[in-house]
Structure formats: structure tokens, C-alpha cells
């Protein structure tokens, strides 16, 4: 029985297949771009288009940017808004549409004693409570 090649070539780097190795492309450390973060790193630096691309997901539903105002700030500015015709004063209540001002959320910090009807997309529970205690209302629009 003849000796097997694996035993016979023990210690030989090439197992009798010369410098190019056994496959057609030689010893390149894999086909394609394997080793680009290891032994082919210099190639990756010369060709940055082969470096790793974007990761994660692209959100096709971007979050809405929240622009907010507090109840206390609104109470301070309501007279100025009426003067600039961005709010209305009828009878004993102020009416203001915050979307005209580019504001989409009403927050509950501060106090108000004025009766206001506020149209806004989002409002915190505390803000709604404070407006209602003063005799006004919040309309989600």
C-alpha cells in the first residue's frame, strides 16, 4: 500500500502544487473581497468604495419634529398674538390655533387664568387640565 500524499507531504508548504497553489487564481486569501478587514486592509484603504457600507435601516416614516409651547408662555403671549391677528378675542375667551404659529404641542408648565380655546395637534394631560381649570378647552386638530 502506497503512502498517502497528506502523510508524505507533511511539513511541505505547497503539497507539491508549486507557488500558485492548486486553484486557478493562486493564493489570494479567498475569492471576492474576503479579508478586507484583515490581510487585505491596504487594498481597502486604496479603494474606499469597498469598505463597509451603511448599516441599519432607513426610516421611511421619519418622526415628526415637535415644536412645543408651555401653557404659561402662551398665557404671556396671548395679548401680543391678538394684536398681530394670530389669535381672536371674542366675548370672554381667547381663541388661538397654534398650527398657524408652527407649534404642534402644548405642554403644561406654567399657569393661566385666562379662558382660552386652543387648537393644537398634541397636548399633554397637564396642559389640558390647566386650560380646563381656567374655563377654556383644548381641541385636538
Q: What is the pLDDT of residues 31-59, one digit of tens each?
A: 777 888 788 888 888 877 767 666 678 88
Residue 31 lies in a domain: no
Domain extent for 135: 68-140
What is the percentage of the chain residues whose pLDDT exceeds 70?
Answer: 89
Which among 89, 130, 84 has a CA at the least distance from the CA of 107? 130
Specify the pLDDT at position 45: 85
Query: Residue 89 — pLDDT band, cuts 50, 70, 90?
Result: very high
Specify the pLDDT at position 97: 96
With a cut of 70, say whether residue 135 has pLDDT above it: yes
CA–CA distance, 134 with 115 (Å, rounded to integer): 6
pTM: 0.58
Residue 54 lies in a domain: no
Which among 133, 58, 138 has a CA at the least distance from the CA of 103? 138
Distance of CA 45 to the CA centre of its chain: 29
- Per residue in 53-85, pLDDT (tens digit) is 666 788 888 888 999 999 999 999 999 999 999
Residue 113 lies in a domain: yes
User: Taking a C-beta distance cutoff of 8 angstroms, is the pair 37, 30 a contact?
Assistant: no
Specify the pLDDT at position 57: 80
Specify the pLDDT at position 25: 65
Residue 90 has a CB neighbour count (10 Å cut-off) of 8
Residue 38 lies in a domain: no
What cell does 130 get? 390647566
Residue 16 lies in a domain: no
Residue 3 lies in a domain: no
Tally of domains in the chain: 1
Q: Report the CATH number at residue 116.
A: 3.100.10.10
Residue 120 lies in a domain: yes
Residue 44 lies in a domain: no
Amino acid at each position: 500500500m502506497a503512502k498517502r500524499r497528506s502523510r508524505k507531504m507533511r511539513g511541505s508548504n505547497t503539497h507539491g502544487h508549486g507557488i500558485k497553489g492548486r486553484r486557478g487564481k493562486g493564493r489570494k486569501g479567498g475569492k471576492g473581497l474576503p479579508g478586507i478587514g484583515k490581510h487585505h486592509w491596504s487594498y481597502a484603504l486604496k479603494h474606499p468604495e469597498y469598505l463597509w457600507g451603511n448599516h441599519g435601516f432607513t426610516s421611511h416614516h421619519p418622526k415628526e419634529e415637535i415644536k412645543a409651547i408651555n401653557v404659561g408662555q402662551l398665557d404671556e403671549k396671548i395679548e401680543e398674538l391678538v394684536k398681530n391677528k394670530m389669535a381672536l378675542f371674542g366675548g370672554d375667551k381667547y381663541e388661538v390655533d397654534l398650527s398657524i404659529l408652527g407649534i404642534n404641542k402644548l405642554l403644561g408648565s406654567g399657569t393661566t387664568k385666562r379662558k382660552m380655546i386652543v387648537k393644537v395637534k398634541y397636548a399633554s394631560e397637564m396642559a389640558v387640565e390647566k386650560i380646563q381649570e381656567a374655563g377654556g378647552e383644548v381641541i385636538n386638530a
